[in-house]
Structure 1
Amino acid sequence: MLSAQGRKGEMTEMDLTDLVDTHFHLWNLKKFQYAWPDADVPILFRDINIEEYAEETRDTTFRHAVFVQVLNNCPEETKWLLKLAKTHPFLKGVVGGIDLTSPDLEKTLDELSMDPKFVGTRHILDFEKEDWLTREDVKKGLGILEKKGLTFDLLLRPHLLKHVPSLGAQFPNLKMVVDHIAKPFIKDGKMEGWKEDMEKIAKCPNISCKLSGLVTEADLKDWKVEDFVPYVKHVMKIFGVDRCFFGSDWPVSLMAGASFQKVFQVLQDILKKLDVTEEDQIKIFRENAIKFYNLKI
């Protein structure tokens, strides 16, 4: 049971059940070759399978999850997860790493979309030049996603935020979400620049924000809940509670010593400090995710 702030300010007991994790990863070192993680990150550089995730979440109230790609331009990874979803029904959505610039994009998306658990795409921008989001071939691909009713996860760092408002305007019917609140400089306590750019993005009603990836942007060995409060407070103020939702970013969170349960607890503690109501917490941990990814729950 979770203590929550009621609408009239009284403390009430709330049971957050049947929740949705919108962001977790798996990898199979025998099946795929990864640019990251590598041997420099020994806690992650191993096979991480869906059974381990199931065990990690077993004693929580999370019953549904969305896998997010690790590999760019790799429909094989997406097919692997869609196959796993057939035997692990808690896996309700797969965000794939599909090449948006491929001449076969429509064909690939049509094939994957035969499975209703294929919900959208993402592209890891760390491996691209800074202007990748502005390229015409990329925009053409985003237009195809929009036409097909799929989503696009934006994995961004602060220096790329300037490119997003124009995309939101150009593709008003494409549902996009900023992953990990755009990886601000939490370790340094810096908000300047990130704060203003996120405000511009939030003016696009088709763009949401994942409350995820917080612990790995702080001091990995010495973080505390208070480090994250101003960032989450700002995001929730500008996007509104209806466009924010939770993602564990497990197992990457292990780099900061945070289990799935710990990541969940961190966001609960932040929301408690921000006096977020029971109704709004249910949106953040369940309802908004279902609507955004059109999950069949």
Structure 2
Amino acid sequence: MVLDSHQHFWQYEPVRDAWISEDMGVLRRDFLPEDLKPVLDQNHIGGCVAVQADQSEAETHFLLTLAGQHAFIRGVVGWVDLRDDALEDRLAYFSSYKKLKGFRHIVQGEPKGFLLDPRFIRGVRMLARYNYTYDLLIYHHQLDEALQFVRHVPEVKIVVDHLAKPSIRTGEKTQWELNMAALSTFDHVSCKVSGMVTEADWRQWKPADFYPYLDELFESFGPSRLLYGSDWPVCLLAADYEQQLFIIQSYLAHASARENEQVLGENAVNFYNL
């Protein structure tokens, strides 16, 4: 089964969703399960993982409610304040929701040093007690800090979202490549093959633009630690669902059937315990 390990839902609110700027006008509307399900069906995708886009427990409950109503939403990556002194109580509370698989914080918007805050590290380590995962959302320039961070949380399954957002539009990848290779040496770290088109030139990208980055990921992480994700609806800024899916499908065309199964579904099942 093919699974989409990374997509979002929201009911658009201009104040809360201020990150959606004027040049992102296509995203300034609601995106809900009834919008995604036909797209997944058309592309023979058997299910998805809904990932938080707002940093609030209300967001977590919103996604869990949708997951309870729609079987194709196989898991939820929510948000909780990982620096909260009462975190263990919150995790115990959320543990009753079986479709909640992990948590994420939008670290890409945080100042330098955030990942190494002892309170944050303590919170992430606590996730292991409840078999929760952690999605690491960073830009490529935060990889040095991420390398230090993952050393502190060896007991937690971590997945790097969107290849750590390399500068695909400029083609620069030397430092990114070195850092990702170093990150891959930690067995508890995986990586999502997601969010690529929005790091490229939105209007002039071509599939081959992404192949050097995919080459590095397959060489370093291998097919057993890479997860396909669409980043729908954010991908719509640069590509429709079929276009972004074609990038990874075309890249995998010369891979084995086993490697296709792993990257396009099995790894997501195993990582998130779907």
> Please, what TM-score do these two structures have when normalized by structure 2?
0.96
Letter in 2 for 1:263: Q
Residue 200 (structure 2) pairs with residue 218 (structure 1): yes
Match of 2:262 in 1: 283
- 54, 58, 62: which one aligns with 2:41: 58
SS at match of 1:193: helix
Match of 2:108 in 1: 126
User: 1: distance between equivalents of 2:14 and 2:125?
Assistant: 31
User: 2: distance between equivalents of 1:202 and 1:110?
Assistant: 31
Match of 1:48 in 2: 31
- 88, 94, 98: which one aligns with 1:106: 88
SS at match of 1:79: helix
User: 2: distance between equivalents of 1:103 and 1:168?
Assistant: 21
SS at match of 1:166: helix
Gap runs ≥5 in structure 1: 1-17
Query: Which structure has more helix as a fraction of its residues?
Result: 2
Question: Could you tell which deviates more after superposition, 176-185 or 21-30?
Answer: 21-30
After superposition, give the CA deviation of every residue in 1:247-294 in whole Å (9 maximum; x if it has no partner).
0001111100x222221111111222xx31111000001110000000
After superposition, give the CA deviation of every residue in 1:166-189 in whole Å (9 maximum; x if it has no partner).
332222120001111011111111
Gap runs ≥5 in structure 2: none
SS at match of 1:66: strand
Aligned residues of 2:94 and 2:100 also touching (Cα < 8 A): yes
After superposition, give the CA deviation of every residue in 1:108-156 in whole Å (9 maximum; x if it has no partner).
2222220110000111123311110010110110111122211110111
Match of 2:141 in 1: 159
Could you tell me the percent identity over the aligned residues? Answer: 35
> Please, what TM-score do these two structures have when normalized by structure 1?
0.89
- 250, 261, 281: which one aligns with 2:232: 250
Alignment of 1:164-183 (within 5 A): 164-183=146-165
Cα 1:226–1:31 change in 2 (3 A) is closer
Match of 2:271 in 1: 292
Task: Supply the RMSD in Å over aligned alpha carbons.
Answer: 1.4
User: 2: distance between equivalents of 1:283 and 1:32?
Assistant: 39
User: 2: distance between equivalents of 1:216 and 1:114?
Assistant: 35
Match of 2:216 in 1: 234
Match of 1:259 in 2: 240
User: 1: distance between equivalents of 2:14 and 2:174?
Assistant: 42
Alignment of 1:62-141 (within 5 A): 62-72=45-55, 74-141=56-123
Letter in 2 for 1:55: P
Aligned residues of 1:228 and 1:270 also touching (Cα < 8 A): no
- Residue 222 of structure 1, CA deviation: 0.3
Residue 10 (structure 2) pairs with residue 27 (structure 1): yes
- Residue 106 of structure 1, CA deviation: 1.4
Cα 1:35–1:102 change in 2 (3 A) is farther
Aligned residues of 2:116 and 2:148 also touching (Cα < 8 A): no
